[in-house]
Amino acid sequence: MRDLLRGAAPATRREHALLLRRDGEQTPIIDTAAPIRNRDGFLIGAVLVFHDVTVSLNLARALSHQATHDALTGVPNRREFERRLRELLARPDPASHVLCYLDLDQFKIVNDTCGHVAGDELLRQITQLMRGHLRAADTLARLGGDEFGLILQGCDLEPAVALAQRIREAIADFRFAWGERSFGIGVSIGLVPVAAHERDADTLLGAADAACYAAKEAGRNRIHVYQPDDRHLLEQQGQMQWVSRLQSALDEDRLRLYVQPIVPLHPTPGERPHAEILVRLEEDGQLIQPGAFLPAAEPRWPPQTAPLVAGQTAPGRTVEL
């Protein structure tokens, strides 16, 4: 307004301001000022117009929230989770952080038995249950389906494992009631300490996902702490690479079948001949023996379980209490 009265050109404020009313309420506004001149062109005053932008501002906030948060549970979505993780990794501070990947066990049973409405309600209740164990600085997000991510900011590995155990025990003790039915579920959790030299978000997310998968493979409802030299994770990652190679081989018709006769030591007259069919994988003109790729193609059920030590958790170990 003062600049306008000094002869400056009229302008419209681009950002909103807050108008303080007499009753103490604040209203977001956009203000526009225009000069008032007499017949001779002399500036004799100005007119100031306030436009209430409460509705448009609330709409913009709602759209921003919808773009960054999961509509079902109200927690951040995968996109916002990854943004916050990258923002945290970009900081130069040496504080310790832990990244967690959580996958609900037996969720599909509820979804298939009672329908998606029950599954949605279960996800809402589980989300509130987990949020009750977190600090204000922690970030819980729904990454998709029944999978969640958790950033424990400024947290060392030992208290992070203890927090994960409390979440695991709370979910294991939880009973979801739907109609006359009651369901118990569990959660498999993979933890990755964020090292000072590791600042790649995709690498950390992949490691946390692999650790969670290892917890499921070891019997579910467990916690697995990732270590780069973890033998079980290395085997699992190797087999997952074989899965894509096998799929490519199927698409490109590179599986080769071989037949060898089965000859009895004591043949019986009139007995029909038998044969064994063998499979090989061809890559770059070389034949790969089945022992290298068949373990990745075979179903992993029932999952193999490892010896458990009650009350102990060590890096690279999967435990259940």
- Residues 191, 211 contacting (CB under 8 angstroms): yes
The dihedral through the CA atoms of 208, 215, 303, 176 has a sign that is negative
Structure tokens at 53: 């932008």
- Which residues have a Cβ under 8 Å from the Cβ of 169 and sit 6 or more positions away? 321
How far apart are the C-alpha atoms of 147 and 68, rounded to whole Å? Answer: 17
**C-alpha distances out from residue 242 to 291, 292, 296, Å:** 12, 9, 6
β partners of residue 321: none
The question of whether 93 is a catalytic residue gets the answer: no
Tokens 């279960």 sit on residue:
122
164: nearest Cα among 104, 105, 100, 208: 100
Rounded-to-10 torsion of CA 79, 84, 88, 89: 0
Out of 70, 105, 138, 146, which one is annotated catalytic?
Answer: 146
108: nearest Cα among 147, 70, 136: 147
89: nearest Cα among 210, 196, 6: 196
Burial of residue 140 (CB within 10 Å: 0-12, 13-18, 19+) is buried
Q: Which residues are catalytic?
A: 146
